[in-house]
């Protein structure tokens, strides 16, 4: 299953313009982003960095992508999913 976690108000889910074929989850208070080490807190402003985590069937983080190059990120994830699946 593929999920996208959005930090911020719930309305951002309704206004999503890309029509992605997977669910979008609201992280209103940034708790999930903070637990994954992705939340930047600048006092009055908080934002989540764009990280990707592959979660294995046991619910553990199998791989973290902390610096995402959008030109090759999708292929990298697919390749790593195939490798994880063959283990």
Q: In this structure, what DSSP letter does residue 68 have?
A: -
Structure tokens at 31: 């708790």
Give the whole-angstrom CA distance, residue 49 versus residue 79. 23
CB 38 within 8 A of CB 64: no
pLDDT at 76: 92
The mean pLDDT values, 10 residues at a time, for the chain of 87 residues are 66 61 78 89 86 86 88 91 86
CB 48 within 8 A of CB 39: yes
The residue extents of the domains of the chain are 1-49, 50-87
Structure tokens at 32: 């999930």
């Amino acid at each position: 299953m593929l999920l996208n976690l959005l930090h911020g108000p719930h309305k951002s889910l309704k206004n999503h313009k890309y029509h992605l074929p997977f669910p979008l989850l609201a992280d209103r208070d940034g708790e999930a982003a903070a637990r994954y080490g992705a939340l930047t807190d600048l006092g009055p402003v908080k934002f989540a960095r764009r990280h990707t985590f592959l979660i294995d069937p046991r619910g553990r983080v199998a791989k973290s992508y902390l610096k995402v190059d959008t030109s090759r990120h999708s292929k990298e994830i697919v390749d790593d999913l195939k490798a994880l699946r063959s283990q």
